Amino acid sequence: WCHRSRLAGFPGLCRLHRAEVLSVRGDLCSAEREVTEAAELLSESAPWAEGDAYRVLGEIYLARGDLEDAEAAFRRAYSLGWDPQPGQALLLLARGDAEGAVRALERSLEDPRWVNGQRRGILLAHLAVAAAVAGHRERVNVALRELEQCPELCDTPAFAAITARARAEAALRDRAEQDALAALRESLEHWRRARAPLDAANTRIRIVEVLAASGDTEGADLELHAAESAFRSAGAQAAIRRCAELRRELPRNQSLARGWS
């Protein structure tokens, strides 16, 4: 577009943004290829943004369920001067460290750099989820209130999906399983509207955990099959293995709702 319009542009930035969209759409192989090439271009044309490429790469690995590769990419992003949130916090959640995720997101929200100011809405939304998982109800409410007071920060289906997830996690802490399931299904519908199949699949996994804990193995199996299909389409092998583990646990697991997907 820059070439056709005869405008000066930073080679690599458009490819970086394209990689992020491809990742959300579930095309992880193309996304990884685009962002790897973008990182090489950015290292010369816009080194200030090179770290963002590794942030996106980490989120691609995280979508696959490759936690170690995601951690390495996020560390590389940080070493290049880029705050890799919220991906790094999601990695901590995936490893069961909700308290660490809360601390990481709070540090980013306190960071005065423009990049975190731009992302304040998404950081707050993920903080609400992490705080709910960690059991910090008042911190959840503070984050959600700020989002409600600034609708321009959260006017997309993705924000609606994340905040619904936060309400679900808070409900689970209160042992209100039906309220949690309703909020999770609302989150799932928002991800479907956003055409984000892997985020939708991860939401289904959380629904599987809640249904399994309540003894609804048939419902859990239906959700698990749908999630597994999405992961297979994306070639997310680590996530597929996680689905296989969950399927083996379905008949006997009565405590999954206390964990993180």
98: its two tokens: 């909700």
Predicted confidence band at 13 (pLDDT cuts at 50, 70, 90)?
confident
pLDDT at position 259 over 60: no
Dihedral, CA atoms, 21, 119, 87, 23, nearest 10 degrees? 0
Residue type, 6: R
36: its two tokens: 């790897």
pLDDT at position 5 over 90: no
76: its two tokens: 């590389």
Please say whether the beta carbons of 45 and 11 come within 8 A: yes
CA distance 19 to 4: 21
pLDDT of residue 8: 60
Predicted confidence band at 10 (pLDDT cuts at 50, 70, 90)?
low
pLDDT of residue 39: 92
Q: Specify the DSSP class assigned to residue 113.
A: S
pLDDT of residue 153: 64
Higher-confidence residue of 152 and 65: namely 65
Average pLDDT over residues 141-151: 85
* Residue pLDDT, tens place only, 182-230: 999 999 999 999 999 999 999 999 999 999 999 999 999 999 999 999 9
Please name the residue that has the structure tokens 């920060």.
Answer: 153
pLDDT at position 256 over 50: no
* Residue pLDDT, tens place only, 35-83: 999 999 898 888 888 999 999 999 999 999 999 999 999 999 999 999 9
pLDDT at position 249 over 90: no
pLDDT of residue 63: 93
pLDDT of residue 252: 57
Q: How many residues does the structure list for the chain?
A: 261
Please name the residue that has the structure tokens 């705050």.
Answer: 83
C-alpha distance from residue 181 to each of 28, 63, 129, 171, 211 (Å): 29, 23, 15, 9, 8
28: its two tokens: 């992880």
pLDDT of residue 223: 96
* Residue pLDDT, tens place only, 88-136: 999 999 999 999 999 999 999 998 888 778 888 889 999 999 999 999 9
